[in-house]
Structure 1
Amino acid sequence: MDFDLTEDQRLLKDSVDRLIAQQYGFEQRKKYIREPAGYSVAMWDQIAELGLLGLPFEETLGGFGGGAMETAIVMEAFGRGLVLEPFFATVILGGGLLRRAAPASVLGALAPRVAAGKLKLAFGHVERHSRYDLSDVSTTARRDGSGYVLDGAKSVVIHGDAADRIFVTARIGGERRARDGIGLFLLDPATPGVSRRGYPTQDGQRAAELTLTGVRVTADDVLHDNALPLIEHVVDEAIAALCAEAVGAMQAMHELTLEYLKTRKQFGRPIGSFQALQHRSVDMLVALEQARSMAMFAAVMAEEENPIERRRAIAAAKVQIGRSAHHIGQEAIQLHGGIGVTTEYAVGHYFKRTTMIEQLFGDADTHLAYLARHGGLFGRAA
Structure 2
Amino acid sequence: MKVALDSDQQMFATVSAALAAELSDRWDAGRERAEAGRPLISAADVDKIAEAGWYAIRLDEEAGGASGGCLDVCIVAEQLGRHVVPAPALGTLIALEQLRVHGGDPALQESIATGERTVAPVLTANLREFATADTKDARLVAFDTAGVTTGLIVDKTASEYGLGPSACGADLTRELAPLAGAKGVEHELARGTDVEARDRAIAYALALISADLLGVSERALADSVEHAKTRHQFGAPIGSFQAIQHMLAECLVSVDVMRSAVWYAAWAVDSLPPSEALRAARTAKAFASQEAVQVSQAAVQTLGGLGMTWESRAHVWQRRVQLDRALFGDETVQYDLLTRA
With structure 2 as the length reference, what TM-score do the two structures score? Answer: 0.87
* Residues 260-287 of structure 1 deviation map (CA, whole Å, 9 limit, x = unaligned): 1122221122111112211111111111
Q: 2:142 aligns with which of 133, 141, 157?
A: 157
* Residues 145-190 of structure 1 deviation map (CA, whole Å, 9 limit, x = unaligned): xxxxxxx624331134744543226xxxxxxxxxxxxx44333435
Q: 2:265 aligns with which of 298, 310, 333?
A: 298
Q: Distance in 2 between matches of 1:224 and 1:331?
A: 46
Cross-structure match for 1:174: none
User: Structure 2 counterpart of 1:189, which letter?
Assistant: Y
User: Structure 2 counterpart of 1:122, which letter?
Assistant: A
| 2:124–2:131 Cα contact (<8 Å) kept | no
1:240 equivalent in alignment to 2:207? yes
Secondary structure at the counterpart of residue 167 of structure 2: strand
Secondary structure at the counterpart of residue 140 of structure 2: strand
Q: 1:209 aligns with which of 167, 178, 182?
A: 178
Cross-structure match for 2:290: 323
| 1:164–1:188 Cα contact (<8 Å) kept | no
Cross-structure match for 1:122: 120
C-alpha displacement at 1:227, in angstroms? 4.6
Q: Distance in 2 between matches of 1:222 and 1:164?
A: 22
Cross-structure match for 2:89: 87
Cα distance change of structure 1 residues 310 and 222 upon mapping to structure 2, 3 Å threshold: closer
C-alpha displacement at 1:230, in angstroms? 2.7
Cα distance change of structure 1 residues 222 and 74 upon mapping to structure 2, 3 Å threshold: closer
Q: Distance in 2 between matches of 1:137 and 1:60?
A: 27
| 2:164–2:178 Cα contact (<8 Å) kept | yes
Q: Please tell me the root mean square deviation across aligned C-alpha atoms, in Å.
A: 2.9
With structure 1 as the length reference, what TM-score do the two structures score? Answer: 0.78
Cross-structure match for 2:326: 359
Cross-structure match for 1:42: 44
Cross-structure match for 2:97: 96
C-alpha displacement at 1:42, in angstroms? 2.4
Secondary structure at the counterpart of residue 193 of structure 2: coil
Larger Rg: 1
| 1:301–1:310 Cα contact (<8 Å) kept | yes
Number of equivalences: 337
Q: 1:307 aligns with which of 265, 274, 282?
A: 274
* Residues 205-262 of structure 1 deviation map (CA, whole Å, 9 limit, x = unaligned): 111111555x4776x5567653554333212101101111111110100011111112
6-15 vs 72-81, which moves further: 6-15
User: Structure 1 counterpart of 2:161, which letter?
Assistant: P
Q: Distance in 1 between matches of 2:90 and 2:97?
A: 10
Q: Which runs of 5+ in 2 are unaligned?
A: none
1:288 equivalent in alignment to 2:290? no
Percent identity among equivalent residues? 26
1:250 equivalent in alignment to 2:250? no
C-alpha displacement at 1:317, in angstroms? 0.9
> Which has the higher relative contact order, 1 or 2, with Cα contacts under 8 A spaced 6 or more apart?
2
Q: Which runs of 5+ in 1 are unaligned?
A: 141-151, 170-182, 375-382
